Structure 1
Amino acid sequence: MLLVEDDPRVRRSLRLALEDEGYAVVEASTGASALDMLRERGPDVVLLDLMLPDTDGFSVCRELRRESAVPVIMVTARTDSHDVVAGLEAGADDYVTKPLVAKELSARIRALLRRATAGPSAAPRDDLTLGDLRIDLGDAVVVRDGVELPLTRTEFKLLAELVLAEGRVCSREHLLDKVWGYGYFGDSRIVDVHVRRLRMKVEHDPASPCHLLTVRGLGYRLAG
């Protein structure tokens, strides 16, 4: 695990708590060193503080996403809606707010790691074509117009759940439970932001989607 935090006391406290939970932790105190550590060590998950001395967590996450699909949890002292959404849109898979509760943080990390290593549930079919979009659940590959799409693990799991629903509507609560996977009781913004991110990749016109549809008041469904 890569822990990115500029405050040495907070960093030490988090490292000790995470090591007590059985995680091997490497540390970075700046955005630049975090990206260097990502390339050198290839961590399984990144715990990324929003406020860093040389840049901000949003910029680091966007740069990280250009290079890796590693799960990212954004850590922020802010609870402002804009900051939460901005962190998710920058590419974070989840977010937590300070002060951190070690057991809750550990549960979220375990859920991300399970999601990163587990394939989708068994389905009636594992290869689906929807117009210009081909979704292969078995190999975790999504292709549009012959080009493989660079989905994050969370984006793929979200799309896989919609495939498994076979055209039925999936509520935000269902997707929170199935994709985030640890009895997630956060607000539905985390689903909505990931759907927007997914549309930017799978749709030719994300503003007028033809595959990933919103069913007002109910949730989302996948269409051909």
Structure 2
Amino acid sequence: MTSEKIVVVDDEPDILELITLYLHKEGYQVVTCGRGDEVIRAVEVHQPDLIILDVLLPGMDGIEVCRSIRKISNVPILFISCNYDDLDVILGLGVGGDDYIPKPFSPSQLVARVKAHLRRNNMKDSSNNHHVLKFDGLEIDLHSHSVTVRGVETTLSSKEFDLLALLASSPKKVFKIDQLYSQIWGSDSLGDTRTLMVHISNLRKKIEPDPAMPRFIITIRGVGYKFQP
């Protein structure tokens, strides 16, 4: 059995049982929670490698749970929810979620996303890149995963940093949307690019002097994005 541990949070016992079954088949250790107010304790005790988090929960909703987790951990958080409108996606990813999958979902698809996030996280942890990328008013330390904007250190989520580092490491290179999704999330976008678009929007708000008129992250209409040094 793999040593990787996953916390699964959902108030529907059938869904908890289904997800647990499929994760166990892949060799993962699983800890389950049925209420939002149980999650922080579970994270502190079990130190999971990934969290699967429903949005609608008793005790504390998934958005507040995610906010609380981000105060103590950068563990990948994969949201699942039956509500999949743009506002839900923006809220979930805006508070530090890494990905978002709507219900009903294919268990095999969920497992594939879990594997992709864990693989990306392990690759990031094993990297040993020490150099700093410096631009006009923007510094990106690839080793410490820190970003300084006009002299002030700015907090980015794990996926926001990965996205910025990828773009900034290849200035002026145009990345297609599917290419970015594949390299950052480690899986296919399945035709839904909202996760990427929300991360780009959040990133612009944090690093751009004027997010409405981006200086660094440029949209190439109909294609994707590039970093303009």
TM bracket, shorter-chain basis: 0.7 to 0.9
Give unmatched runs, 5+ long, in structure 1.
none
Q: Distance in 2 between matches of 1:126 and 1:139?
A: 10
**How far does residue 28 in structure 1 lie from its aligned partner after superposition?**
1.4
Query: Aligned match of 2:110 in 105, 112, 123?
Result: 105
Query: Aligned match of 1:63 in 40, 54, 68?
Result: 68
1:217 maps to: 222
Q: Distance in 2 between matches of 1:46 and 1:17?
A: 15
**How far does residue 4 in structure 1 lie from its aligned partner after superposition?**
0.7
* Runs of 4+ with >6 A deviation: none
Q: Distance in 1 between matches of 2:51 and 2:157?
A: 14
Residue 44 (str. 1) matches residue 49 (str. 2): yes
**How far does residue 204 in structure 1 lie from its aligned partner after superposition?**
4.0
Cα RMSD (Å) of the superposition? 2.4
Q: Distance in 2 between matches of 1:186 and 1:85?
A: 17
1:163 maps to: 168
Residue 151 (str. 1) matches residue 156 (str. 2): yes
**How far does residue 219 in structure 1 lie from its aligned partner after superposition?**
2.2
What letter is aligned with 1:192?
Answer: M
Query: Aligned match of 2:90 in 44, 61, 85?
Result: 85
2:122 maps to: 117
Identity %: 37
2:179 maps to: 174
**How far does residue 73 in structure 1 lie from its aligned partner after superposition?**
0.7
1:189 maps to: 194
Q: Distance in 2 between matches of 1:195 and 1:114?
A: 22
Q: Name the TM-score, length of structure 2 as normaliser.
A: 0.85
Q: Distance in 2 between matches of 1:41 and 1:7?
A: 22
- Which region of structure 1 is more displaced relative to structure 2, 149-158 or 134-143? 134-143
2:139 maps to: 134
CA gap of 1:51–1:82, structure 2 versus 1, over 3 A, is same
CA gap of 1:72–1:54, structure 2 versus 1, over 3 A, is same
**Within 5 A, what are the aligned runs for 1:10-21?**
10-21=15-26
- Which region of structure 1 is more displaced relative to structure 2, 35-44 or 82-91? 82-91
Deviations 1:110-134 (A, max 9, x none): 11111112139x9xx9421012211
Q: Secondary structure at the match of 1:167?
A: coil
Q: Distance in 2 between matches of 1:72 and 1:43?
A: 10
Q: Secondary structure at the match of 2:175?
A: coil
CA gap of 1:178–1:55, structure 2 versus 1, over 3 A, is same
**How far does residue 147 in structure 1 lie from its aligned partner after superposition?**
4.2
Q: Distance in 2 between matches of 1:185 and 1:17?
A: 20
Give unmatched runs, 5+ long, in structure 2.
1-5
Q: How many residues align?
A: 222
Q: Secondary structure at the match of 1:2?
A: strand
Check whether the contact 1:119–1:138 (CA below 8 A) recurs between aligned residues.
no
Q: Name the TM-score, length of structure 1 as normaliser.
A: 0.87
Q: Distance in 1 between matches of 2:91 and 2:145?
A: 27
CA gap of 1:82–1:222, structure 2 versus 1, over 3 A, is same
What letter is aligned with 2:193?
Answer: S
CA gap of 1:12–1:79, structure 2 versus 1, over 3 A, is same
